[in-house]
C-alpha cells in the first residue's frame, strides 16, 4: 500500500465515530475561550483554514456529533476577550450556513447570540445578527420579541437598526406588529440608505402585507431617485396580484422620459414578469 493511499484511508473517520477534526476544532475553541489576552487568540481570518475543510462535516455529521462543538463555541460567546467571541461566532456561522437543522442545534445558545447584538465591541453585533439570520430552516420565532425592541432603540445607529430589521424580516415577514414597528422606525429616521435597504428586504422576503405595499406605493412616488429605484427593484421578486396592483404606475415610470434610465429599465423588467 502506498504512503499516499494509507494517508487517505487514515484520514477517513470510522463509521459511527465523529470526525477527529471536530475534536481538534473543539479543543482549539476551548483554548480560545479560556484566553485572558487577545495576544494568544487567533483572528477569525486565521481560524478560517481550520473551518473551511470541515464544511462537508458540518453539513452531514449527526447532530449529536456537532453538539459538543456547538456547546463550547456557544459558551465562548461570553468570553472576556472580544476576538475570542468573534472566533466562536465564526465557528457557529460555519455550522449555521451548512446544516439544515442549525436552528435546533444552536437553539440552546440563542440567548447568548442575542446578547451579542448589544456587544460593546461594535464589530460584533453585525456578524451576530447574520448568524441568527442564517439559522435553518428559519430563525426561531422567539427572535421577533428579542429583536423588535432593539429596532426601536433610538440610540442605535441606522446601520445597526437596518441589520436588525433584516433579521426581523427573515424571522417573520408576516407579523403585522413587526412590520408596523419597522415602518414606524423607517419613517421616523427618514434615512435614505435605511429606506432603500428596507425596501430591498421587503422585496427579498416577498412581503404582501397591505402596510408594506402601501409603503412601496409611497416610495414609487418619492422625490428621491434612490428610493424610487429601491421601490421598483423591490417588486422584482414579487408576482401575481401584487405586481398587477402596481402595473399602471410601473407603466407610467417606464414611459417617463424624465425618469432615470436604470429605473425605467427595472420597471420594464417587472412589467414583463406580469402574467
Closest CA to 240 of 203, 273, 202: 273
269 falls within a domain: no
225 falls within a domain: no
CATH code, domain carrying 92: 1.25.40
In angstroms, the CA 190 to CA 151 distance is 14
Asked if 180 and 210 count as a contact pair (C-beta separation under 8 A), the reply is: no
162 falls within a domain: no
Asked if the model's pLDDT at residue 11 lies above 90, the reply is no
* Per-chain mean pLDDT for the chain: 91
SS3 (DSSP) at 13:
coil
pLDDT tens figures, 58-107: 999 999 999 999 999 999 999 999 999 999 999 999 999 999 999 999 99
Query: What is the average pLDDT across 176-180?
Result: 95
263 falls within a domain: no
Closest CA to 44 of 59, 28, 56: 28
Which tops the pLDDT comparison, 158 or 10?
A: 158
262 falls within a domain: no
Domain span holding position 33: 16-140
C-alpha cell at position 170? 427573515
Asked if the model's pLDDT at residue 8 lies above 60, the reply is no
Q: What is the DSSP letter of 239?
A: -
The pLDDT of residue 275: 75
39 falls within a domain: yes
62 falls within a domain: yes
Q: How many domains does the chain have?
A: 1
Asked if 92 and 113 count as a contact pair (C-beta separation under 8 A), the reply is: yes
Asked if 51 and 26 count as a contact pair (C-beta separation under 8 A), the reply is: no
92 falls within a domain: yes
The pLDDT of residue 2: 45
Count of CB atoms situated within 10 Å of the CB of 77: 24
Asked if the model's pLDDT at residue 109 lies above 60, the reply is yes
Query: Chain-centre distance of CA 273, in angstroms?
Result: 28
Amino acid at each position: 500500500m502506498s504512503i499516499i493511499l494509507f494517508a487517505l484511508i487514515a484520514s477517513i473517520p470510522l463509521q459511527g465515530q465523529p470526525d477527529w477534526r471536530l475534536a481538534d476544532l473543539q479543543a482549539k475553541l476551548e483554548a480560545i475561550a479560556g484566553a485572558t489576552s487577545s495576544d494568544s487568540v487567533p483572528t477569525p481570518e486565521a481560524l478560517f483554514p481550520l473551518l473551511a475543510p470541515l464544511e462537508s462535516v458540518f453539513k452531514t455529521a449527526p447532530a449529536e456529533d456537532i453538539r459538543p462543538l456547538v456547546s463550547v463555541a456557544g459558551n465562548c460567546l461570553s468570553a472576556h476577550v472580544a476576538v475570542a467571541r468573534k472566533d466562536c461566532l465564526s465557528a457557529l456561522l460555519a455550522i449555521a450556513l451548512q446544516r439544515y437543522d442549525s436552528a435546533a442545534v444552536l437553539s440552546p445558545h440563542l440567548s447568548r447570540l442575542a446578547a451579542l447584538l448589544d456587544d460593546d465591541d461594535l464589530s460584533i453585533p453585525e456578524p451576530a445578527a447574520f448568524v441568527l439570520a442564517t439559522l435553518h430552516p428559519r430563525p426561531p420565532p422567539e427572535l421577533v420579541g428579542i429583536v423588535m425592541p432593539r429596532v426601536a432603540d433610538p440610540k442605535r445607529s441606522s446601520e445597526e437598526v437596518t441589520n436588525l430589521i433584516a433579521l426581523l424580516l427573515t424571522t417573520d415577514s408576516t407579523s403585522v406588529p413587526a412590520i408596523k414597528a419597522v415602518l414606524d422606525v423607517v419613517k421616523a429616521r427618514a434615512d435614505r440608505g435605511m429606506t432603500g435597504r428596507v425596501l430591498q428586504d421587503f422585496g427579498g422576503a416577498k412581503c404582501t402585507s397591505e402596510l408594506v405595499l402601501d409603503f412601496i406605493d409611497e416610495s414609487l412616488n418619492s422625490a428621491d431617485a434612490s428610493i424610487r429605484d429601491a421601490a421598483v427593484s423591490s417588486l422584482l421578486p414579487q408576482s401575481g396580484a401584487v405586481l398587477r396592483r402596481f402595473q399602471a404606475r410601473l407603466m407610467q415610470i417606464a414611459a417617463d422620459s424624465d425618469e432615470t434610465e436604470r429605473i425605467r429599465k427595472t420597471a420594464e423588467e417587472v412589467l414583463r414578469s406580469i402574467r
